[in-house]
Amino acid sequence: MSTSQFPLPDVGEGLTEAEIVSWRVAPGEAIEVNQVIVEIETAKSLVELPSPFTGVVDALLVEVGQTVAVGTPIISVTTEATATATADAAAPAGDAAGGAAGGAAGGARTASAAEPVIADTAASVTEEDKPGAVLVGYGISGSASSRRRRGAGKPPPARVVSTGPGQAASASAVIAKPPIRKLAKDLGVDLATVTATGEGGETTREDVVRHASQASVFQNLETPVWGEEREERIPVRGVRKAIAQAMVASAFSAPHVSLFVDVDATRTMEFVRRLKASTDFAGVKVSPLLVVAKAMIWAVRRNPTVNAQWTDSEIVVKHFVNLGIAAATPRGLVVPNIKDAHALSLLDLARAIEQLTITARDGRTSPAEMAGGTVTITNIGVFGMDAGTPILNPGEVGIVALGTIKQKPWVVDGEVRPRFVTTLAASFDHRVVDGDVASRFLADVASIIEEPALLLD
């Protein structure tokens, strides 16, 4: 028997510190390899850390809410010399006795303390059994089989079968994993009203997001009541600290220049309606943001310096597009990006945007997903805003803000007609992007919004 400490690992490139959000285990509790033991918050995302040990929790070395540096020990675990000893420590006395008898009959198999305990009888692995996060060095592959720990003594949780695929389940018949339930709670969605499309009537992330209207996701429908305290002090850490540092660095290092243009988006709205009715896009969320994203990729090819990076000695022009999508989440602003977006079809781009949005709103965007962006789009129209002056994502030289799309009087062929109109706003790093290039780029994006058929050229 020995005691081992687990230091906070670097779960992303260059991570220096993280905040302890919640402990999933307690002192005296038996744990296994790859069991999630703690949830931490890095600069931009929530990460679940699995245990590298099998044993019994000796002590939690860091309190919830505390920020610690990478390499700091956060938990102490007493590891057992054999797999049987570990299982017996975790099992009730009766189960331990039964396990000992079985071991005497069949012979005990020893294992190192770092190995997962393997039972004699295999059990199938459900999605709930899979670890929430796997770190390099002691993780398991997705194809590896798993077996239940000897002496667990716990029957599997009862699962209620829904009324059938494609049907809304009742409140007592909802099948959804804990992360999906949390997502539904964050979005204000009643799972009992969601149409489940997953296997066996399970509710998926896509089902929840599709059910919630984009405009009402973060809408505050109630006015909160002030408490007795006259002030509230919020520590600057985690996501808020990262946002502040990034915005200050961008605003005061890159000379911003902003442009605005009003656009007739009527044909874009018609195009979006046709896509929603298409069988090819069945089950995929489609919005005007998809058209704007595709338009930006097309405009970047025509104005490459918008897709560049400034250094003290050179301008690095990227011949690929990692398209950033600014996402307002319950935990703050994040800007994940779609890698090699220029190589995606319209359908694949729609799927990528949907998955990126789901991951961000679920608070599971990884640092790697936010690194390496080349140009960004922010959709302020979902909040009813017409226009704004967006601040550049650090390391990039161009960003476009899409305003709300609503009907306004518009002159068409000399006549005033009701048309769907939006405002595009864009900011550029004037060290890299000259006024003429910025203007041509935004005009190219606007031309696609006015006539999406140009994307087919």
Handedness of CA 450, 440, 288, 355 (dihedral sign): positive
Q: Which residues contact 245 (CB under 8 A, 6 or more apart)?
A: none
Cα separation, 53 vs 5, whole angstroms: 9
Residue 208's pLDDT is: 80
Report yes or no: 7 and 53 within 8 Å, Cβ to Cβ. no
Cα(first)–Cα(last) distance of the chain, in Å?
70
Tokens for 309, please give them: 């990076």
pLDDT tens per residue, range 273-298: 999 999 999 888 899 999 999 999 99
Q: pLDDT at position 107, please?
A: 40
| Sole residue written with tokens 């864009």 | 426
395: nearest Cα among 370, 425, 420? 370
pLDDT tens digits, 134-149: 333 333 333 333 334 4
pLDDT of 233 > 70? The answer is: yes
* Residue 156 binned pLDDT confidence (cut-offs 50, 70, 90): very low
Mean pLDDT confidence for 335-353: 95
Whether residue 66 is predicted with pLDDT greater than 80 in this model: the reply is yes
| 138 belongs to a structural domain | no
Q: 130 vs 142, 144, 434, CA distance in Å?
A: 8, 10, 51
Round to whole Å and give the CA distance between 43 and 245. 10
Domain limits for position 202 = 171-212
207 lies in a domain?
Answer: yes
Residues 277 and 396 in one domain: yes
Domain check: are 205 and 252 in the same one?
Answer: no
- Per-residue confidence (pLDDT) for residue 13, from 0 to 100: 56
194 and 247, same domain (yes or no): no
Find how far residue 16's CA is from the centre of its chain: 21
Measured CA to CA, the distance from residue 21 to residue 241 in angstroms comes to 16
pLDDT tier, 382 (very low <50, low <70, confident <90, very high otherwise):
confident
* Structure-token pair, residue 391: 């601040």
Cα 428 from chain centre: 27
- Per DSSP, the residues of 56-123 read EEEEE-S-TT-EEETT-EEEEEEE-SSHHHHHHHHS-HHHHHHHHHHHHHH------TTSPP--SS--
Token couple for 253: 């290092």
- Return the CATH number at 286: 3.30.559.10
Residue 225 lies in a domain: no
Instruction: Select, from the ranges 28-32, 238-242, 257-261, 452-456, the one with the highest average predicted confidence (pLDDT).
Output: 257-261
Asked about 211 being catalytic, the answer comes back as: no
Report the CATH number that the domain containing residue 55 is assigned in CATH.
Answer: 2.40.50.100
Q: Within 10 A of 256 (CB to CB), how many other CB atoms are there?
A: 15
Does an H or E element contain 158, and which?
A: none
Kindly state the average pLDDT of the residues 223-229.
77
Are residue 21 and residue 96 in the same domain, yes or no?
A: yes
Residues 6+ apart with CB under 8 A from 291: 268, 271, 272, 448, 449, 452, 455
- CB distance 42 to 18 below 8 Å: yes
Residue 341 maps to a domain: yes
Statement to judge: residues 441 and 316 lie in one domain: yes
- As for how many domains the chain has, the answer is 3
- Region 392-403: mean pLDDT is 94
Exposure string of 114-123, with b = 16+ CB inside 10 Å and e = fewer, is eebbeeeeee
For the cut 70, the answer to whether the pLDDT of residue 43 exceeds it is no
Task: Identify which has the larger pLDDT, 375 or 230.
Answer: 375
Residue 228 lies in a domain: no
94 lies in the same domain as 180: no
Q: pLDDT-derived band of residue 216, with 50, 70 and 90 as boundaries? A: very low
In this structure, the answer to whether residues 91 and 194 fall within a common structural domain is: no
Inside any domain, residue 159:
no
Which of 211, 319, 342, 430 is catalytic? The answer is 430
What pLDDT score does 457 carry? Answer: 52
In a domain, 69, yes or no: yes
Average pLDDT taken over every residue of the chain = 78
Please indicate, yes or no, whether residues 267 and 389 belong to a single structural domain of this protein.
Answer: yes
| Reported confidence tier of residue 188, pLDDT bands at 50, 70, 90 | confident
Are 256 and 430 in contact by the 8 Å Cβ rule? The answer is: yes
Q: Is the pTM of this model over 0.85?
A: no
The domain boundary residue, chosen from 66, 95, 129: 129
Share of the chain above pLDDT 90, in %: 41
For the segment 120-131, what is each residue's pLDDT rounded down to a tens digit? 333 333 334 433
Name the 3-class secondary structure at 34.
coil
Band (222; pLDDT cuts 50, 70, 90): low
**Could you tell me the CATH number of the domain that includes residue 192?**
4.10.320.10
Q: How is the beta sheet containing 67-69 ordered, strand by strand?
A: 46-50, 36-41, 17-23, 67-69
- Report yes or no on 119 lying in a domain: yes
Nearest 5°: the CA angle 280, 286, 288 is 135
C-alpha to C-alpha distance for 373 and 336, rounded to whole angstroms: 8
